[in-house]
C-alpha cells in the first residue's frame, strides 16, 4: 500500500485478494485494485466512505488529476474509493493476452461468467469491512455502475448508507432484445440531430461509405475498416461533446494522393482510437450479458434486432442518396473479426452469447421494500440507457427520487462540475 499526493489530493493504493467465485470462498483468488482519494485537510480524519463504480462494463475507474468535477464535491465530506472492477485497470486483467492462461474458449467463457454485476457487488462486500470496519458506505454508480448499485440494493442494502445513480437505472426485466429494440430509435434521433447540426457531414459520410464499398481499408494496427465499422463511429453521439468530436474527425476524412482521393492517416488514426477494444475487451465480451437474466441466451441481440430497422443499412441509404445512420454502443459479431484485440477471443465471445442460465440480477420485491435513501439522475433522451425503462425501475424502488433532465447527456456527472452530485445528495437528504 503506497500513499502519494497530487495538488488537492492524497491518494492511497489498495490491493485485495478476492474469490473468483464468491460461492466458493476457499477457491481461486483474483486481485482487485482500488485507489483511495481524500482531501489533504481531511487525510487524518475519520470520514464516511463513498464507493465510485465506473460505467462499462469493462472500464477501470477514472484516474484523477486533481480535485475536479464530481470528485471536488465528494471530497468535501467523503473518503472516496475508485474501484477497478474485476478484470479492469490494475485488477487481474482479462484480455487476449491473459485469458489463454485459463485454457481454451470454453474455460475462458466459464471464467468470464464471474464478471457481471453480481460478482462486482460481492467484491465490494468483501472489501467494505476491511476499509470501513463494517460501517455502511455510500455508492455512486455511473451508467453500468448504476446497474451494479441497483443489484447492491437488491442483495445487500444493509451495506449502503446512500445510493446515488447517474444515467444507470436498468430495466429490471427487459431482455437484451427489448433493450436494443428501444435503443435503435434513440440512436437514430441522435444521428439525425448530428446531421442537422453539421449538414456537411452527410455528404462526407456518404462519400466514406462509397469509398469503403470499393476499397479494402485497414486501420493502423490491423483493424478492418468496413462500412459497418465506420457506422460504429457513432458511439460517442450519446455524450455531451460527441457530435462535435465526430464532426472534427470527419472533416479530416479524405486526402488527395497520386492514386486519387484516399482516407487520410489522420482520419484513420482517429477512427482506430474510437473503435479499438484493446483497452476494454470486456466491454465487447460482456456487454450483452449485463442484460441477461433467466434461461435465455442473448445470441447477439443487437445484430438480430438491427434487422428490424432497415434504415440502418448504410449501403441502401447511400444508394438512395441519403446519409448513412451511425450506430451506438451496440456490439456486433463482425467486431470479433475486425478488431485484432478481439480476434483471438471470437469463440469465447460466441460461447458467452450462447450461454443460458444467467442468474437474475435484481429483486423487485426487495427493491419495493427499500429503506436506503436513493436518488437517480435520468437523462431525458439518454442514448445509452432508455429513460422509459429507467423511470419504470425508479417507480419500483421504494423511496427513490429522480431528477429527470435534458440539460446533460449521459456523461453529465463528469461534465456538470459539482452540480449532478450536489443535486443527488440534496435529494437523498430532503434538501431538494
> How many degrees, rounded to 5, is the angle at CA 229 between CA 226 and CA 234?
145
Q: What is d(CA 153, CA 188) in angstroms, rounded to the nearest whole number?
A: 33
Three-state DSSP class for residue 59: coil
Beta-carbon count within 10 A of 382 CB: 24
Quick check: 53 and 34 in contact, CB under 8 A?
no
Number of helical (H) and strand (E) elements in the chain, helices listed first: 18, 11
Write phi, then psi, for 307 (nearest 5 degrees).
Answer: -60, -20
List active site positions. 143, 382, 410
Please report the DSSP string for 150-195 in residue order.
Answer: HHHHHH-GGGEEEEEEES----SS--HHHHHHHHHHHHHHHHHHHH
Three-state DSSP class for residue 106: helix
Q: What number of residues does the chain have?
A: 432
Q: What is d(CA 359, CA 292) in angstroms, rounded to the nearest whole number?
A: 8
Quick check: 360 and 332 in contact, CB under 8 A?
no
Beta strand ranges found along 335-389 (DSSP E)? 374-379
Contacts 24+ apart (CB under 8 A), 257-263: 261/211, 262/215, 263/208, 263/211, 263/217, 263/225
| Cell representation of residue 33 | 485494485
Amino acid at each position: 500500500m503506497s500513499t502519494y499526493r497530487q495538488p488537492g489530493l492524497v491518494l492511497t493504493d489498495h490491493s485485495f485478494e478476492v474469490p473468483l467465485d464468491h460461492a466458493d470462498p476457499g477457491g481461486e483468488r483474483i486481485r482487485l485494485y482500488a485507489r483511495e482519494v481524500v482531501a489533504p485537510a481531511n487525510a487524518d480524519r475519520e470520514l464516511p466512505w463513498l464507493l465510485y463504480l465506473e460505467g462499462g462494463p469493462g472500464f477501470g475507474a477514472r484516474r484523477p488529476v486533481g480535485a475536479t468535477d464530481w470528485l471536488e464535491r465528494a471530497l468535501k465530506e467523503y473518503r472516496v474509493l475508485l474501484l477497478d472492477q474485476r478484470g479492469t485497470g490494475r485488477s487481474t486483467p482479462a484480455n487476449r493476452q491473459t485469458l489463454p492462461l485459463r485454457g481454451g474458449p470454453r474455460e475462458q467463457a466459464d471464467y468470464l461468467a464471474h464478471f457481471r454485476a453480481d460478482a462486482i457487488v460481492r467484491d465490494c462486500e468483501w472489501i467494505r469491512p476491511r476499509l470501513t470496519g463494517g460501517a455502511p458506505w455510500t455508492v455512486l454508480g455511473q451508467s453500468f455502475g448504476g446497474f451494479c448499485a441497483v443489484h447492491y440494493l437488491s442483495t445487500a442494502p444493509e451495506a449502503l448508507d446512500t445510493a446515488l445513480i447517474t444515467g444507470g437505472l436498468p430495466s429490471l426485466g427487459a431482455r437484451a432484445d427489448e433493450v436494443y429494440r428501444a435503443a435503435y430509435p434513440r440512436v437514430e434521433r441522435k444521428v439525425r440531430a448530428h446531421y442537422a447540426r453539421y449538414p456537411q457531414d452527410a455528404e462526407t459520410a456518404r462519400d466514406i461509405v462509397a469509398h469503403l464499398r470499393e476499397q479494402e481499408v485497414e486501420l493502423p494496427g490491423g483493424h478492418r475498416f468496413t462500412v459497418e465499422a465506420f457506422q460504429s463511429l457513432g458511439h460517442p453521439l450519446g455524450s455531451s461533446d460527441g457530435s462535435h468530436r465526430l464532426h472534427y474527425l470527419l472533416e479530416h476524412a479524405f486526402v488527395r494522393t497520386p492514386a486519387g482521393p484516399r482516407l487520410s492517416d489522420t482520419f484513420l488514426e482517429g477512427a482506430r482510437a474510437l473503435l479499438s477494444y484493446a483497452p476494454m475487451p470486456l466491454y465487447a465480451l460482456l456487454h450483452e450479458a449485463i442484460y441477461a437474466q433467466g434461461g435465455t441466451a442473448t445470441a447477439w441481440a443487437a445484430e438480430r434486432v438491427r434487422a428490424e430497422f432497415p434504415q440502418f443499412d448504410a449501403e441502401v441509404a447511400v444508394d438512395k442518396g441519403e446519409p448513412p445512420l451511425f450506430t451506438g454502443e451496440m456490439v456486433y459479431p463482425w467486431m470479433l473479426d475486425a478488431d485484432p484485440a478481439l480476434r483471438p477471443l471470437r469463440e469465447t465471445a460466441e460461447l458467452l452469447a450462447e450461454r443460458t442460465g444467467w442468474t437474475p440480477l435484481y429483486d423487485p420485491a426487495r427493491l419495493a421494500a427499500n429503506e436506503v435513501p436513493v436518488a437517480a439522475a435520468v437523462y431525458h433522451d439518454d442514448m445509452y440507457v432508455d429513460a422509459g425503462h429507467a423511470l419504470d425501475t425508479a417507480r419500483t424502488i421504494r423511496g427513490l427520487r429522480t431528477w429527470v433532465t435534458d440539460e446533460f447527456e449521459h456523461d453529465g456527472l463528469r461534465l456538470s462540475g459539482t452540480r449532478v452530485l450536489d443535486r443527488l445528495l440534496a435529494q437523498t437528504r430532503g434538501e431538494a
